């Protein structure tokens, strides 16, 4: 194009009026063309690259951190810790997954919350880009959650979190029909509660021979609620069994954690200091900061170790009910027993349990044989004593019950008994 032609065209456009609608159409066309081009080149991963689309969609919940995915699952029938971690994508391969599970179980030995997960419990996981578990949180019930956090040493540390909630008092009354056990169950007392009541009153009342039809029993129970919903945590605080003659057989919980009759006489039998008939060398003491003999890491030692040869009979230090029998990778075969009041005991590294879950046991009864199961340096018994859910030193705990309350405590205890019995309108005065 020569300069004369170019000049003519330029002059033509200068002399031609431009209409407003022509400009508008051109502007809209440019916008449409630009959006179409952007849509063709759009890559959602460039914007949301921190999201892990490999996580199961049905289980993927939220992002707590740009590099840490949160995975949540409500435990269902057939679930295990291994299955849940594998489904969530923990571990680069099977061996890596196994290593991380072992790290968790090592931290769990002092709390024993992961070996038996139950339907309805909620598990949350935090996993980094290298498929390394950074945190596990398990809600055992609305009142209790346990956290396992990976530390700077690349091991897990646990945190046991309890919520107090609200405790409500509920009175339960009934009459004996066929038997006390059957009648108490119909009154909606649990099997363990019925056995517990029989254990409390057995020094006063023979439930096989001394109970009669239409005699009245009254039970006062505290029930825990979180956010308006029951947690399942309960505690019996008062029991009264009244015969036809009007005689009352009573048990009331005192603030010291023991049960007493309405007259202040203790119902707690003397608690044995250690769960063996013979004396054995104490190979490891209660120590919140003990250095583990195998790992050399500092971890709480929530009990005492007795150098018992494998096969040594282990006895119950007090009356109680067998709450749990299980097997843990590090604790080995173990038993948990709940005793009267606020106490419970644990027995680890056993070779053979001699009781069953839910069984009522008495002081001095053989419950198991010691062994060498789990992670140990040799045969021994690890024994723990817990009060109100907290491990205490069994060698120093004041576990031997007094025969009766002192005069200084009787006035306040009598007021407490009167308050408790005010919930029972059908008792004869």
129: which 2 tokens?
A: 């880009």
pLDDT at 426: 65
The two domains 60-162 and 282-392 share their CATH topology (first three levels equal): no
Q: Is the dihedral of CA 74, 79, 81, 84 positive or negative?
A: negative
Question: Does the model's pTM come out above 0.75?
Answer: no
SS3 content of the chain, % helix, strand, coil (to 5): 20, 35, 45
For residue 18, the 8-state DSSP code is: P
- Domain-wise residue ranges, the chain: 60-162, 166-268+405-421, 282-392
What are the b/e assignments for 292-309, b being 16+ CB within 10 Å? eeeeeeebebbbbbbebe
Distance of alpha carbon 246 from alpha carbon 251, whole angstroms = 16
224: which 2 tokens?
A: 């825990």
pLDDT at 424: 86
For residue 292, the 8-state DSSP code is: P
Distance of alpha carbon 387 from alpha carbon 287, whole angstroms = 16
Query: CB pairs under 8 A, 24+ apart, for 233-237?
Result: 233/141, 233/143, 234/190, 234/193, 236/193, 236/196, 236/197, 237/169, 237/420
**Class of the domain covering 60-162:** alpha beta
Q: Is domain 166-268+405-421 annotated with CATH 3.10.450.350? A: yes
pLDDT at 402: 62
The domain 282-392: what is its CATH number? 2.70.70.10
- 3-class SS of residue 237: strand
The burial class, CB within 10 Å (0-12 / 13-18 / 19+), for 385 is buried
Per-residue pLDDT of the chain (429 residues; tens, 9 = 90+): 444 444 444 444 444 444 545 545 555 555 554 544 444 443 333 333 333 333 343 343 344 444 455 899 999 999 999 999 999 999 999 999 999 999 999 999 888 999 889 999 999 999 998 999 999 999 998 999 999 999 988 989 999 999 989 999 999 999 999 899 999 999 999 988 998 899 889 889 999 888 999 999 999 999 999 999 899 889 999 999 999 988 999 999 998 888 999 999 988 777 899 999 999 999 999 987 666 555 556 678 899 999 999 999 999 998 889 999 999 999 999 999 998 767 899 999 999 999 999 898 989 999 999 999 998 889 999 999 998 888 999 998 877 656 788 888 899 999 999 999 999 876 654
What value does the CA radius of gyration of the chain take, rounded to a whole number of Å? Answer: 34
């Amino acid at each position: 194009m020569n300069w004369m032609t170019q000049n003519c065209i330029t002059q033509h456009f200068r002399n031609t009026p431009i209409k407003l609608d022509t400009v508008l159409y051109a502007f809209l066309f440019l916008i449409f063309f630009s959006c179409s081009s952007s849509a063709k080149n759009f890559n959602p991963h460039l914007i949301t690259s921190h999201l892990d689309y490999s996580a199961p969609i049905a289980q993927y919940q939220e992002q707590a951190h740009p590099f840490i995915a949160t995975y949540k699952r409500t435990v269902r029938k057939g679930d295990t810790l291994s299955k849940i971690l594998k489904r969530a994508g923990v571990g680069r391969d099977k061996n890596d997954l196994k290593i991380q599970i072992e790290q968790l179980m090592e931290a769990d030995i002092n709390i024993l919350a992961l070996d038996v997960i139950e339907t309805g419990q909620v598990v949350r996981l935090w996993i980094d880009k290298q498929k390394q578990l950074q945190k596990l949180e398990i809600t055992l019930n609305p009142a209790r959650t346990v956290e396992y956090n990976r530390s700077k040493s690349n091991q897990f540390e646990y945190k046991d979190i309890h919520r107090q909630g609200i405790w409500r008092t509920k009175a339960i009354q009934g009459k004996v029909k066929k038997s006390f056990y059957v009648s108490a169950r119909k009154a909606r007392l649990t099997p363990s509660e019925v056995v517990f009541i029989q254990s409390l009153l057995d020094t006063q009342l023979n439930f096989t021979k001394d109970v009669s039809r239409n005699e009245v029993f009254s039970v006062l129970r505290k029930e825990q609620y979180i956010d308006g919903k029951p947690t399942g945590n309960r505690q019996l605080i008062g029991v009264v069994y009244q015969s036809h003659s009007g005689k009352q057989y009573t048990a009331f919980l005192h603030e010291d954690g023991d049960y007493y009759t309405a007259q202040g006489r203790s119902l707690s039998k003397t608690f044995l200091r250690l769960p063996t008939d013979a004396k054995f060398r104490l190979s490891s003491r209660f120590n919140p900061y003990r250095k583990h003999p195998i790992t050399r890491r500092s971890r709480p030692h929530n009990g005492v170790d007795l150098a018992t040869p494998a096969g040594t009979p282990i006895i119950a230090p007090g009356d109680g009910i067998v709450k749990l029998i299980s097997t843990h990778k590090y604790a080995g075969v173990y038993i948990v027993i709940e005793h009267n009041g606020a106490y419970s005991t644990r027995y680890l590294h056993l070779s053979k349990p001699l009781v069953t879950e839910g069984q009522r046991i008495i002081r001095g009864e053989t419950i198991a044989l010691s062994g060498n199961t789990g992670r140990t340096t040799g045969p021994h018994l690890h024994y723990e004593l817990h009060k109100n859910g907290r491990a205490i030193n069994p060698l120093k705990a004041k576990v031997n019950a007094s025969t009766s309350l002192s005069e200084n405590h009787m006035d306040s205890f009598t007021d407490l008994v009167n308050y408790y019995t005010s919930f029972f309108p059908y008792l004869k005065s």
